[in-house]
Structure 1
Amino acid sequence: MAKSLSSLAVGALVKDTGTLYNGKPIIWKIADKNHAGFPANSVTLITERIISLKCFDAMEQSNNDGNRRSYGNNRWIWSNIRRWLNSQAGAGAWYAAQHGLDAPPNNSNVWSNYNEYEAEAGFLAGFSANFIAALLTTNRTVGKAQMDGGGTETCTDKIFFATSTEVGLSGDVVAGSKLALFTDDNSRKAKPTAECVSKSEYQTSSFNVNDPWYWWLADAYASNSYSVRRVYSSGAMDWGHAYGGHWGVRPLCNLKSEILVSDSPDSDGAYTIIWNRAPSVPDSIDVPSDVRGGEKLTVTWGTSTDPDNNLSGYILERQYNGGGWAQLYKGINRTYTDQITKGWENVAYRVKAYDSAGAESAYKTSATRTVINNTPPTISGTDTDLGAKTGAFDQKYTVTDPDSGQTITVVEKIDGTQKRSYAATSGQEYTFSVTADEWRKLLNGSHTLTVTATDNYGGAATRTYTFSKNETEIELTLATPLEADDMVTKAIMSITRQIPAGAEFTVEACNNGHDDSPAWEDVTQAVTSGSKFFLSNDSKTAEEWGFNFRIKVKRNSASGDCFISSVGGNFE
């Protein structure tokens, strides 16, 4: 059963399940029926609660009027909020300048950046096509500021704010006539929705779903150019600066009286608007051809259209091994990730659309897919922190694949760079070797070794080993001293280096480098100043004289690059 919207009493709640704001259906309250000056045979709706906090208008930073430059514009016909309320545009596309000095409600133009909304979609973007088509154009009379000529002006809107007169308050002018809903302060009190509270950037203990809050009216406060009339939390008259993003939005609209609603209210206490035909079959369903037992599978499907524009979502069902169909998902998304049980032989899916009144389309059914029951390989051990390492090292591991006849490809990487790739034998132990040359190239800090094993069907396992390197000393010498025909008495050396402040840098030289215990002499000062140095040693135990040097660096607490890149020089 259904009945007309006009049969409901003033104060009754109404909603269209396909008309959303903040992801939830908007619940409206009947404010009047056949209201004077509004469209004939219409029902006037106002949101039951405050649905959002937004500024009336943004600061107009190019305006010659200092107050509008600092606090926004209080003229309804130029306001940002009027433009937003009546726009179907997508996110970030609803704003358009309403006059030459207009500015959008963004971070730069809203008080303390609270609830800027330039990037939002227009208010009507969340409305069902049926609701938008049913909105009646309404002649509006609103008060304006004295600097704009004072008195009232008229415009037409489909979504609008009430005037002071319409809510039963005395403003600066008479604009329209009182709506039947508003009889006293208590009738004007409005609480915010839960979504309004949770999404607001402005938070205070008194702003909650259980207490009334302030909400905007359409009238300018006539005495200045930037203040707007609003309803105080007590239901009394109030006013606020236009750029304040912490005051409530409570829109109104008019619908035709003959629109049908449900015979009884739902769990929200609201009667549901009825305009319904079944949606179309979803235009496609896609199931990957590669289906693996024990793994996840993502099913996607195409869109459905609804002639009444109240599509609510889709129902996805699954069949395996030719058995019965079972529901997996119901909702508005067009993708679902399923878990495939290992051992299934085949699987198929089908999807249908449904709308807010419960009408459903026929099914769109996928091809039946064969399930590949493959077990991925495993790598012995667990992901491990190997701690601090001091040089080249080996890490052993074993790769195992329970599925016989598989080809296992193993890839080893150091810090994400591939070291080697090879075909492994299941159950055999292998060694990941960090060579001395690779060790030298690693910087101090944390490093990662990864071993990834992949089988024929793409089943994969990865083992991760972490370790750290923290070398704080360098000692550099020649493995074989430089041959000398006679005792070396003097030499010069140049060392290309980067030694940070705070590190210790020492250079030693000897002329009896072949001895078991060479006579090392400190020549650091001569090397750092680029001077020739003289060696005092005049004895040796080996048969031959030989020149050698020894360079030492201790980092200590110094930070920054620390290296030696080349050593040069000569001796005699």
Structure 2
Amino acid sequence: MANGDLIKLGTFYLAGAKKVRPTKPWRSDTTPPGAPSVGDIPSFSAGQTIEIRDTDASDAYKIQWREVKGGAKKLLIADRDLLVNVSWDDLNAQGLIFGKTITIDGQQYKLRVLTGGSNYRGADGYSGGTPTDNEWDRIIVNEAGLNGLPTPTASDLDNSANSTDFNSAHNQFWNWYYMYSWAQETYTGNSAGRAIRGYLSARGWDYYGAAARFGVGWRPVLEVLNSVPSVTLTNPANNQTLAEGNTLPVEGAATDSDSGNVLTVKYKINNGPTRALQSGVSDGSKPISFARTLTYSGKRMYDGATDVVGVDLAENTDHTLTVWAEDDKGGKSAEVTRKFRVIWNRPPTISGENGDLGIMEEPPSVEYTVTEPETNPFTVTEKINGQVIRTFAGVAGRQETITIPHELWLRLEPGVQHALTIETSDDQGMTSTRTYTLTRFVDKIVFSLDFATMQQETKDFFTTDVAAKRLLLTPIWDLPPGAILLVEVCNNAYDEEPSWEDATIVVKLNRAHLFANETKTAAEWGINFRFQIEKGSATQPIYLKGVGGAFD
């Protein structure tokens, strides 16, 4: 802020009722030359209280001040009289002449009137007041030559009253035309008289009796006693959601225009204890920066090793970080707040992304790892189409591989999509799933009995005492036109090189095959058969669900 800046601050109350800012700030009993009508400044009645309270939300009720800084004092001078037909004694009785401390919007001020000189200088009152260092002449008339304040023209300083005075830039800035304002001083020529300024000339000086009311007004001045600090919060962003281990950076700067004030930046979360962020001595202009990183862990917020709030932070609830600054003179900045939420527990995380593995001729093999944000114990379950492949206790970060066992792979229907899933659940009940889809592709079915892995009771069934003469196979299948079929059978299955005989035609005809072989090299005789079905030119699916039969 600088000299001459317009400040809207506080609201004028008369007898407890707020008053709109006058828009015609001149006498209310007559129309001045050049003015459109009589003025609209409120008139005082004996016994009424005069107050300035906190700033009203409506602009019409906001008092307008001109900022002036000269020397050690910073003043806010009303740009017009707010009250008319009020005596010096009325104002003095309420402490409004020499000053009393008030608070507006949390800032303390000394509320008073300007000094205006105890007598006029020169031959008449249009030469200004004396002593010459009075505030009216130094500031309003700008004899001090303050940058940012207007300087009156010759027309503003003479004793004529006309539209030129009314419309002048100086009068529009200070509104002195046709309105006397009380000053502090007692007239040296008559102890019953009090100084008044303005009216026909910006430099006009006169005096009225201390008890006189008619035509004289109250132009308040605020002397800033201690500037309220201000805080700017650059971090954190509003409405963050914090999970285990996440941080909440608290960063920004505080300023205090009063040089030498000890400034302390403070914060709290919700209604928890107040903690200091930073402190320093203000030089009146340079911001004091602050930065602190809070960490969310185990449902609580920590400042280093200190539990900031002292209780668990609830889930699904807005929590409030509040930051403000205080100086050692009692000034306090406006509070700056940020909302945030917390998550108590998150599910384990499975690496990779859901996706389609495509068309596959062999069982897939997918590598993955699982991490647990809260380091809770967790279990991993692998499934194909909802059927459990395996379940085991997980180890965070360890590489795992999911595949489909051969016996389950063979049972998967070709040509349709299947779901391969990985599920992880921690001991708090949080679960995550990774799903891969795949389609099994089969263009050839090869099937035979494997004596090496066959259970003994099954092997006994296919073992014969002598060479079998006939074998009837009755497949359960769907063999569409165009499929290529080869069925082979033997009666010396235990030989290293069995004598395979083509039984394709008789199987298709549902007839028994007559064995031609009558020899063996192994110790035992045994029956075996094998099927090989190729798609060929078939356009329909091929199914082989099982094989029945008999032999002798």
TM-score (norm 1): 0.33
Q: Which of 1 and 2 has higher RCO (CA within 8 Å, sep 6+)?
A: 1
Bigger radius of gyration among the two: 2
TM-score (norm 2): 0.34
